[in-house]
């Protein structure tokens, strides 16, 4: 299938229109026209080569919402016209213990990311959602619940599942005391989801500047990480801290905020962190953990949870020709909303 997207051709190049071919449908494939694609900070990191060299030309995008245009002969769960979604991965081995446990993101043989990785069968490099069409294995296609706002659904496929999964894993519910570090694209979703689960939620930010924003999302308020006295007064105050900060930072100011057996879960920074102090960990049986997106079943669950509770990311719609300016805005700071590309703006010419 001939199609078009926006690709980076090197780590220091802007994204430009790129004509390429999607594979012909295999028997278990679903083809869709992409209607909306979210812009994730990891798209920027990847095309910039921050996480290692990349197979350019590369089309990013792993927050995809679209409509089914055709299906392979063996596809049973989707038909032409269905509203569907695709997230951060498009394949896995399907038979290791983690795949059978519905946590394909931890596939023992390596899951296949939506862009920038070899296809498990052909070896061709996967290309993402900043494009007009995509072809995906049926098992990695998600159903969008009826009546969801398609334009605002796309970021749930990454920002939503990335924060939903640790909330589910650590059994957040009524009575849980949850803190969220950062009120950016991931952080604001963590707040909305935790509040909907019944938790008491506090945002941890450098200052109180975003206090009203935090309260508008349902948080009880902000704990300023620059306020030493406030931090000391909040010792052992939380059962779970979701750390969405996307850059290297000091965890040692946060771990004493955990109660006994509490966990701080990193979902933002990928890479080096400041040297940890083990005293608060040992003295309170506290732990620091990490979490990677979620499996396909859990991603379907977060879509349905958001539909039930009318939860959407705060979104700014852009056209595809604004993508380089949008990347520049992401580089400047922690934006408190998600960008979504209206793919109708992408010409096939």
Residue 297 clears pLDDT 90, i.e. is over it: yes
The pLDDT value given to residue 84: 98
Question: Higher pLDDT residue, 181 or 331?
Answer: 181
Read off the pLDDT of each residue in 131-155 and give the average, rounded to a whole number. 97
Residue 334 clears pLDDT 70, i.e. is over it: no
In this predicted model, what pLDDT tens digit does every residue of 189-246 receive, in sequence order? 999 999 999 999 999 999 999 999 999 999 999 999 999 999 999 999 999 999 999 8
The pLDDT value given to residue 324: 97
In this predicted model, what pLDDT tens digit does every residue of 49-68 receive, in sequence order? 988 899 999 999 999 999 99
In this predicted model, what pLDDT tens digit does every residue of 235-291 receive, in sequence order? 999 999 999 998 899 999 999 999 999 999 999 998 899 999 999 999 999 999 999
3-state secondary structure the chain: CEEEEEEECCCCCCCEEEEEECCCCCCCEEEEEEEEEEECHHHHHHHCCCCCCCCCCECCCCCEEEEEEEECCCCCCCCCCCEEEECCEEECCCCCHHHHCCCHHHCCCCCEECCCCECCCCCCECCCCCECEEEEEHHHCEECCCCCCHHHHHHHHCHHHHHHHHHHHCCCCCCCEEEEECCCHHHHHHHHHHHHCCCEEEEEECCCCCHHHHHHCCCCEEEECCCHHHHHHCCCCEEEEEECCCCCCCHHHCHHHEEEEEEEEECCCCCCCCCCCCHHHHHHCCEEEECCCCCHHHHHHHHHHHHHHCCCCCEEEEEHHHHHHHHHHHHHCCCCCEEEEEHHHCCCC
């Amino acid at each position: 299938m001939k199609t078009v997207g926006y690709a980076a051709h090197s780590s220091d190049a802007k994204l430009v229109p790129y004509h390429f071919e999607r594979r012909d449908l295999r028997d278990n494939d679903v083809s869709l026209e992409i209607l909306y694609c979210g812009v994730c900070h990891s798209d920027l990191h990847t095309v910039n080569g921050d996480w290692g060299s990349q197979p350019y030309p590369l089309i990013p995008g792993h927050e995809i919402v679209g409509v089914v245009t055709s299906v392979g002969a063996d596809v049973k769960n989707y038909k032409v016209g269905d509203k569907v979604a695709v997230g951060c991965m498009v394949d896995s081995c399907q038979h290791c213990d983690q795949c059978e446990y519905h946590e394909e993101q931890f596939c023992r043989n390596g899951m296949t990311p939506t862009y920038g990785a070899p296809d498990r069968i052909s070896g061709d490099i996967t290309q993402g959602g900043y494009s007009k069409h995509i072809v995906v294995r049926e098992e990695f296609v998600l159903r969008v619940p009826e009546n969801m706002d398609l334009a605002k659904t796309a970021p749930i496929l990454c920002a939503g599942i990335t924060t939903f999964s640790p909330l589910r894993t650590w059994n957040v519910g009524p009575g849980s005391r949850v803190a969220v570090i950062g009120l950016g694209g991931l952080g604001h979703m963590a707040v909305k989801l935790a509040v909907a689960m019944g938790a008491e939620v506090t945002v941890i930010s450098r200052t109180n500047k975003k206090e009203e924003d935090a309260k508008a999302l349902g948080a009880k308020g902000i704990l300023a990480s620059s306020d030493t006295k406030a931090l000391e007064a909040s010792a052992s105050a939380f059962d779970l801290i979701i750390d969405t900060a996307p850059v290297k930072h000091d965890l040692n100011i946060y771990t004493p905020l955990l109660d006994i057996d509490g966990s701080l879960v990193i979902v933002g920074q990928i890479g080096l962190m400041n040297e940890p102090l083990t005293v608060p960990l040992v003295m309170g049986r506290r732990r620091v953990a990490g979490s990677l997106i979620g499996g396909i079943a859990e991603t379907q669950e977060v879509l349905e949870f958001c539909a039930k509770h009318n939860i959407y990311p705060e979104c700014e719609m852009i056209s595809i020709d604004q993508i380089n300016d949008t990347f520049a805005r992401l580089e400047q700071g922690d934006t408190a909303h998600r960008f979504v590309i209206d793919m109708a703006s992408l010409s096939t010419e």
